[in-house]
Amino acid sequence: MHGDLKEVFPLDPKRQQKQEIIRFPKLRHIHLYQLSALKGICGSRMFAPNLETVKVRGCWGLSRLPAISRSTSKRPKVDCEKDWWDNLKWDGLEAKHDPSLYEPRHSRYYKKAHLPRGTVLR
């Protein structure tokens, strides 16, 4: 099925270069679930100035979120596992790619019980 998906938006080598920042001006929501092979949303760095929400679960290979606009008054909400959030890679405020620009939210069950990754709740 989609378990072997490595990128959501792969690069077209004829039109885009790896170092290029790809703009997604209309992207508002990202929801990614149980994509164990996923390495990136896009084959290049992304800029999503209007991003509002991100929900990620079970995508442990994904290491970057898109850069976002610092001028928005509302930070995008990110619903994700705390272990995943803590291991993301960032480029810094100058690049509009910093954890302070997002509002992370972790499961209350995770916070309360400090469950290790892979724990099954019954």
What proportion of the chain, given as a percentage, has pLDDT over 90? Answer: 58
Q: In the structure encoding, which two tokens stand for residue 6, read together?
A: 């490595």
Q: Are 40 and 10 in contact (CB under 8 A)?
A: no
| Residue 112: per-residue pLDDT | 47
Nearest to 63 by CA among 43, 87, 82, 32: 87
Q: For residue 4, count CB atoms less than 10 angstroms from its CB and return exposed for 0-12, middle for 13-18, buried for 19 or more.
A: exposed
Q: Amino acid identity, residue 63? A: S
Q: What pLDDT digit, counting tens, does each position of 40-74 carry?
A: 998 888 999 999 999 999 999 999 999 998 776 78
Q: In the structure encoding, which two tokens stand for residue 46, read together?
A: 């992304």
Q: What are the residue ranges in the chain where pLDDT is below 70? A: 1-3, 15-19, 72, 108-122
> What sign for the dihedral angle of Cα 26, 28, 63, 98?
positive
